[in-house]
Structure 1
């Protein structure tokens, strides 16, 4: 004879980004929230009676709604608030487990709206030598950056399959994957200093470019590296567009004035391009 053992159900990995706006100084909390509920759930397993089941979609919506209604301070407080709510509001629920991961951001310089994901990116380098000549390509990947405003996207081509609305204000986020080629790899130079200057140029261009498209931002970032780093002759960038969609809170009677977003990791737009000096020397095998 079979009997039902311990069980639970919930919504895994709800991605919620909460932007708090105080004038020009914004604050961002970026979370992955997973909920799991257990209690008097025997009948849903044994007979398919769903009367005790709070849908996992409702659990996801609660996360978004609470991010708006209560804000997000310490992740422990937010998790406790959700767990207590589920147990107190649902007669069949005896236990709620809420797991929260916080993805930390740091301010990008003095810009109140621009942030850099905490934790250093991966620094990269490819060096080649053929016995007579050397080539060096430096770079980085997974430099995650985000602007909470100063980005638009409108006036794009449309066809019968277009559903994307135009926007005059959006969150712009990407994980920068970039390589830059040095014109002279033979002479001694301070590679560490060069790297930091290129990184700083990328961050500054991302922050202070009023973006009408990610393509425009890509070109501005590459151009800034060339301007700030005279020894660099070519920059190649790959920028995935990490979409942040405004959550519709109207069904819950809540406004959403650019405060609560759903962060989608896929599918994503991928913008790639090269910016180089007009007099850049031949690349040879540098990019191989």
Structure 2
């Protein structure tokens, strides 16, 4: 039976980078995790062990650190674009590069003006916020695709959510409810229209606004199902942000079950819940403009 080499790629995963920007006595922290994956003319290394086409993964790691010093790390999308284009344009055997970055937020610890004046502002506490993400693909034909995102954005509505009218069979025990807690940890990715990676694009502003609209739609939608809420969130982003052509969401249903307190002679008017860990429902979907260009490598 003939055997052939299928699609393949290789790279450096989870390169941890912390960059301190020293603005006099005021310091700023950029904390990111970078992953790179390269593909192209790599048949020989797989079939014969010839490494002539291979840019070592250790070199990819070193490039991240060197670029952080040379170019700084402002918006993670811009940094990912620099890296992806460099790998493709500097190596003839690399035809496609994917660079993924996660950003971990830090909050400044407030100090008194006396201390700040004497010692500066350089103390931080790890933020309880979500993780910001991006994935950039760059091809030898010059095509660049940018996908921004976030994960672990934990949200909860304590009412204005119900779930009823669903299919019931001989294995169904879940009762319909007209008033439930709706909680989830949002993972969202949104694809920028081609050309949105041009210099000067305000990825930071775009991220803040997309996040604001995701939260706004979650809070303002009377939910008949988590699927309905997912669509409302994606739709609101697309209606508000012209640079975005597709939104993909994954939203686990963090179930909150009403505790039966009747054995203790107590009522429970939707006040005391058991927050279940697992199993959980997982709702996933994409919302896109009907004229959105082909996604190509964007979601790989």
Aligned match for 1:255, one of 267, 283, 290: 267
Is the Cα–Cα contact under 8 Å of residues 133 and 186 in structure 1 kept in the other structure? no
Question: Match for residue 73 of structure 1?
Answer: none
- In the TM superposition, residue 285 of structure 1 has moved relative to its aligned partner by 1.1
**With structure 2 as the length reference, what TM-score do the two structures score?**
0.56
Residue of structure 2 in register with 1:121 after alignment:
130
Match of 2:69 in 1: none
1:121-270 mapped onto 2 (5 Å cutoff): 121-131=130-140, 132-184=142-194, 185-188=196-199, 189-270=201-282
Task: Tell me by how many angstroms 1:186 deviates.
Answer: 3.6
* SS across alignment from 1:223: helix
Given that 2:137 and 2:144 are in contact with CA atoms closer than 8 Å, whether structure 1 keeps it comes out as yes
Higher RCO structure (Cα 8 Å, ≥6 apart): 1
Please give the secondary structure, in 1, of the residue aligned with 2:198.
Answer: coil
Question: C-alpha separation between the residues in 2 aligned to 1:182 and 1:141?
Answer: 18
Gaps of 5+ in 1: 1-117
Q: Between Structure 1 and Structure 2, how many residues are aligned?
A: 171
In structure 1, C-alpha distance between the alignment counterparts of 2:278 and 2:173, rounded to whole Å: 17
Measure, in 2, the Cα distance between the counterparts of 1:224 and 1:265. Answer: 29
1:279 aligned partner: 291
Q: How does 1:8-87 map to 2 (within 5 A)?
A: none
The CA deviation at 1:183 is 0.6
Per the normalisation by structure 1, the TM-score is 0.58
Query: Structure 1 residue 286: deviation in Å?
Result: 1.3
CA RMSD of aligned residues (A): 1.0
